[in-house]
A and B are shown apart, each in its own frame.
Chain A
Amino acid sequence: MSAPTLSRRALIAAGGAASGLLLSRRAFAASKAKLRIGLLLPYSGTYAALGNNITEGMKLAAREHDGKLGGREIEWVAVDDESDPAKAPANVNKLVIGEKVDVLTGPVHSGVAMAMMQIVRQENTLTIVTNAGAQAVTGSLCAPHVFRTSFSNWQTSHPCADVVLKDGRKKAVLMFWNYSFGQESMAAFKEGYAKGGGSIVKEIPVPFPSTEFQAHLSEIAALKPDAVFVFFAGAGAAKFVKDYAAAGLRDKVPLYGSGFLTEGVLSAQGQAAEGVKTTLHYADSLDNPTNHRFREAFKKATSREADVYAVAGYDTVNVLAQALARVQGDTSARKDLIAAIESVRVDSPRGPFRFSKAHNPVQNVYLRQVKAGREVVLGVAQKDAEDPASGCAMAT
């Protein structure tokens, strides 16, 4: 009988243990080493276009700073989060614990953001949320090392309640993707709407990312409300608006929503989107020099039109540039870096904004309407809207 030989599995196990030891002994980077920026974004699925535009916005700003922030060259580390909260812990771990990024940015999906928040709070990772609007990020889960450059769900939905009421519409139906973003948007809208005397006829949740709307649209037509307020984004939003028109509702029941309903998908929606009113902290046609410059540069670099998602990416890198300059690129000087970010005044294509105590942007929310295929700004729905940040210790 031959001597017992090592099975392959034991060899793999030994190899794994050895490489694990090696990795842990890797010398930690000195401050002039590359600045590793983690991108936790969707590059596939219904939100892929959003992930791509955020990335392009970030890269555009990076180029404007010659690829260096605080004197350190940028190294991008991207992970496709597939907008899947189930895979989020593994993906975040990959960036934070495996790749040990200096700054974590992203994600798009609020569910992914919640999973991310649990981990970055434990690991004390400097994090800038570039899209996900979940209230808890700058609310009950707020933390000194977490900032957001995009928006909170409240900011993009609450002001719309006043808009609908001002249009004289007191009976509304709500329809939304049934995950945290949709739920929070509806809660924010309901709060403002009820205060103004409006009543909700029916709430229609749709499982994410399903786009089977037909049965619900028939329901809405039968209910005959004054208005319909929705949350959908990306490809789902494109389909919804088209289906809404195909069901004959566009001209019968006015459609309202947070701006994600039309952002980035207006051309896909075509005529179907005509007349839709939305509230958002940005609009393509905002008339300020930063916006014009930004849009032109973005178009030149990507042959696509910029949108609110690209703006967040653009502003994120600009924020980092300003703050890192103040600490000479030293990401380990955490307290000073945080103070620097907090005091940044961002000259954004959306207009200037600053961070609230809870680290959420304090910004204007605009009322937009689609006219002749373009997003026209009708006015400011709410000036200097600040997210209530309920449950955040830093905000009190």
Chain B
Amino acid sequence: MRLPRRVAFALLAFAAALLLLPLGGDRFWIQFAGKAMISCIFAVSLDLLVGYGGMVSLAHAAFFGLAGYLLAGLSNGLGISSFVLTLPLCLLGATAAALAIGWLSLRTSGAYFVMVTLAFTEMLFHVFNEAPGLGGSDGVFVSARPFAGRTAPYYAIWIALVAVFVLLQRAVQAPFGRVLVGIRLNEPRMRSLGYATRRYKLLAFVLGGAIAGLSGYLDAALYGFVNPAQLGWRQSGLVLVTVLLGGKGTLYGPMLGALLLAVLGQFAERITEYWSALIGSVAIAAVLFVPAGLAGLLRGSRG
């Protein structure tokens, strides 16, 4: 599962372009790129679960939103806003939530698993949407952000994206990743070989959830705003579309998917006011005709 040379080269070029963007780019596009990179991190983390682990989780958005809300709570409630303190704390929170939700959800399997993860994300959505003192449906502003100015958050995101990608590449090439794939392909067989399959799945779930939390933290740091809608099933569904569209099980595929959807979202509103239908059609077409996603297309076209 090593990266093909062409892909590695393209990724490096891409990373370099993003690194240089703040030097000359328009503010609007810098923010756009920052948001796109966050979506890449989010999507890549889900690929670990879905593409490698075979776990279709609809709870992923919950970790994204939870980390953001933790940042808001730390900043507004306790006055803590330095990234040295908030980053580890928010990651810890997301990890703990992933552990709890993962442990409970992995007691079920198959379609029940999908439903339970859906239920957990909706539960969290309703808590943040309705419980008093949590900001309600209007959301909450982060009063003091961990990264000051305009370029600091951008570079923090850039570093995070590079680090996450490298980390996950290592993880899937290591024995851990291979066992995970084995579990996805044939779990009973892996169990008979002596592997504690639930533990591997839980580890993947928690790792993915923690990284999702990282992307949520960065999103809250970039925009200074968290909202219950970030926790709902629609967000989870959208990132799942991203993973499939880009090509699951490749890590760089979902990044392609995230970029495509970001660009689509930006320009689709000028093409048509029914851009939701556009994304839906793209999802349907992807499932029916291009199940291997963009990554699959690119591989095939160079065949």
Contacts and interface: CB of A to CB of B under 8 A. Distances in A.
**Main secondary structure on A side of the interface with B:** helix
B21 A17 contact: yes
B7 A7 contact: yes
A89 B225 contact: yes
Contact of A13 (B18, B139, B227, B273): B18
B26 A24 contact: yes
Given A17-B21, A207-B130, A7 B6 contact: yes
Interface string A32-64: 000000000000000000000000000000000
A97 B137 contact: no
A116 B138 CA distance: 12
Interface string A67-99: 000000000000010001111110001000110
B17 A93 contact: no
Contacts of B31: 93, 97
A115 B10 contact: no
A86 B25 contact: no
Interface in B191-229: 223-225, 227-229
A4 B225 CA distance: 42
Interface in A1-24: 4-10, 12-14, 16-17, 19-21, 23-24
B126 to A, nearest CB: 8
B224 A118 contact: yes
Interface in A174-209: 178-180, 183, 205, 207-208
Contact of B33 (A16, A19, A80): A16
B6 A5 contact: yes
Interface residues of B, number: 39
Contacts, number: 104
B141 A111 contact: no
A178 B26 contact: no
**Main secondary structure on B side of the interface with A:** helix
A23 B259 CA distance: 20
B271 to A, nearest CB: 15
A180 to B, nearest CB: 5
A17 to B, nearest CB: 6
Contact of A179 (B10, B24, B138): B138
A21 B24 contact: yes
B130 A17 contact: no
A110 interface: yes
A174 to B, nearest CB: 14
Interface in B121-177: 129-130, 136-139, 141
B25 A111 contact: no
B29 interface: yes
B31 to A, nearest CB: 7
Given A8-B298, A23-B28, A93-B31, A178 B130 contact: yes
A114 B25 CA distance: 28
Contacts of A114: 138, 141
Contacts of A80: 273
B5 interface: yes
A208 B256 CA distance: 36
A110 B136 CA distance: 12
Contacts of A5: 6
Nearest to B235: A86
Given A21-B26, A24-B24, A115-B141, 17 more contacts: A13-B17, A14-B17, A16-B29, A20-B28, A21-B25, A84-B229, A85-B227, A85-B229, A86-B139, A86-B230, A88-B225, A97-B27, A111-B137, A111-B138, A114-B138, A178-B130, A179-B138
Interface of B: 5-7, 9-10, 13-14, 17-18, 20-21, 24-31, 33, 129-130, 136-139, 141, 223-225, 227-230, 256, 259, 263, 273, 298
Smallest CB-CB A-B distances: 9 pairs: A111-B138, A7-B10, A86-B229, A20-B29, A20-B25, A86-B227, A24-B26, A20-B26, A23-B26
